Chains A and B, each alone.
Chain A
Amino acid sequence: MSIEIKNVFKTYKNGDEYTEVLTNISLTIGDGEMVAITGPSGSGKSTLMNIIGCLDRPTKGSYLLEGQDTGGLNDKKLAAIRNEHIGFVFQSFNLLPQYTALENVELPMLYANTSPGVARKKAREALITLGLEQRIKYKPNQLSGGQKQRVAIARAIVNTPSVILADEPTGSLDSKTGKEVLEVFKTLNKSGKTVIIVTHDPAIASETNRAVKIKDGVIEEV
């Protein structure tokens, strides 16, 4: 799924002060690319990721997802896009603690009105794909960091989205586990998914085929 960002500005209002986080950003990411967005903290990379993930809207400029302008979409449509087309992976995993691994993975499908039986079956398959067959009934607090992140990835891919958005996915993991998780992303990319990883770690950025560097809300290097 192609991502086309054109002259995007993002300004936050804080009291009477306006802070410009993104300044005239234009970026195109093609279908099946694996891209790293890097930059120091406060550079605006997370904001850019939120806009790509349809969690946030640009103040100015346009964002076309597969040629469709997302600017005019309402909350419900954006929720549906997040649900169907985008898979999120977070640094802190963000699994729901009261749910088992399986139930966590089922959740995106339930929001898509998939029948509970189908959702269960697909969630199980996704977890097996990620090598978590033995951990299906475990709750997040019974899993290791790497396992949690793999559950989160299973949750991100279960609705077969075309874009995987990962925000510092290895940030909470030791380097060995981090590498394993990165391999998972590489495999996903090989299977045709667009993978966008936001990171400040140059080592990870070097593993992707393209790195976009952001500083002070401006793209420095593509």
Chain B
Amino acid sequence: MRVGESVRSGFKSLLHNKLRSFLTMLGIVIGIFSVIMLTSIGEGVKAQVTSQVESLGANLLYVLPGKVEINPHKTESRLGVRETGFGQANNTLTYEDVMALREEKQLKAVTGLYTGVDRLDKLKILVSTTGADEDLKQISNLRLRYGRFISKADREHSARVAVIGDQANKEIFGGGNSVSRTFKLNGKDYEVIGVLEYKKPENMGPRGEDINVKIYLPITEMLNRQKDKNISQILVQAKSAGQVDSTQKVIKAAMLKNHGEEEFSILKQQDMLNAINNILGILTAGLGGIAAISLLVGGIGIMNIMLVSVTERTREIGVRKAIGASRRDILIQFMIEAVFLSVVGGVLGLAAGVGGAKLLPEAVPTIQTAVSIPAIIVAIVFAILVGVFFGVYPATKAAKLNPIEALRSE
């Protein structure tokens, strides 16, 4: 029989049992739908995080306390334990480091960052404050609506001045130009020297905090109030993205003068991207894998129904053989039915998955999705393979039926 005729006849058999065919397909529809949805969400998160990390600038380096192995390599000895951890417990960065780095001519800008918690007297709440150097404005590309950012003089004199975000300005002063107005932190007056422009908050990424609630103080002023002089991290801007690697070496050399051993980590954007992509890649693959299980279950559903169908249609197979169908004809007929179920199910699932991936961000704005073409291709190929794989056994069984016994069956 010609293949075109086999397709037509397979189609007819499936239409004969519409509800059953649809329910069988549903397994594949749900399988493909979940594969597309979950990988799209995974890819969406990846794209979002990547773009946020990239928005930090390719020429930024982060110096963090503690040794962080972001791309761990295997050591030969199994006894070795990797020293890790960011926390304040083993915080070893000091403001001395910032000052030492400022001496290095190859660095474009350097700022220490100190994250503290202070009492905002007016609202009787604790707020997060950030100590920074004057270079932060350039490094983080901060835009001011009113006034100016912390200056070198402010830093050198540990001045009690503050640059506040848009939301902070609204809550403390009710908005407007608040430059020269003062507010109290821990009972002491701080003068506002600048108000930042409103910026849409980003919800993810290593530095994606809401800039609008920030209160920046000169880092020296904050450190003066503390017993320990440790800072949270140092941000360094290289002169260009091409100089990041050499800058990393310069930082390392300068830091080692102050530290006996390498008890700090210097991270580049690329390191973070690699690490994030690693983690999210595994996550996406994991999600896709879980979804693939449902596809497998769908495939088993097809096999199950095809086996039932072969049993039910034993007589039909006998008749077809009697009027001249060869084993091959019967095999092809049942294979086509199985593959047809999985392919139509796959296409429906694909449509639902792509549609769902497009609609989800509108329903849940915090989730972003990116439909990946490879995932679509893999899903469709997988659907066909599921049909073939789970169709072969029932179809072979049908083809091998003895025509006499098949005709005799009720």
Q: Identify the A interface with B (CB < 8 A).
A: 50, 53, 55-56, 75-76, 79-80, 82-84, 88, 90, 94, 96-99, 107-108, 110-113, 116, 155-156, 159
Contacts and interface: CB of A to CB of B under 8 A. Distances in A.
B321 A79 contact: yes
Main DSSP-derived SS at the B contact region: helix
A83 B324 contact: yes
B2 A79 contact: no
A50 B321 CA distance: 12
Interface in B125-146: none
Contacts of B327: 75-76, 79
A94 B316 CA distance: 8
Interface in B291-337: 315-316, 318-329
9 contacts: A50-B404, A55-B321, A55-B404, A56-B404, A83-B323, A84-B324, A94-B318, A113-B2, A116-B2
A53 to B, nearest CB: 7
Contact of B324 (A56, A94, A108, A116): A108
B326 A110 contact: no
Contacts of A53: 322
Given A55-B404, A110-B5, A116-B5, A98 B16 contact: yes
Interface string B1-33: 110110001001101100000000000000000
B402 to A, nearest CB: 8
A123 B192 CA distance: 95
B407 interface: yes
Residue of B4, B316, B324, B404 contacting most chain A CB atoms (<10 Å) = B324
B403 interface: yes
A111 B324 contact: yes
Nearest to B400: A75
A84 B321 CA distance: 12
Nearest to B12: A98
Closest 10 CB pairs of A and B: A83-B324, A98-B16, A79-B326, A111-B324, A94-B319, A108-B323, A88-B322, A55-B403, A110-B5, A76-B326
A80 B1 contact: no
B247 to A, nearest CB: 74
Given A56-B404, A113-B1, A99 B12 contact: yes
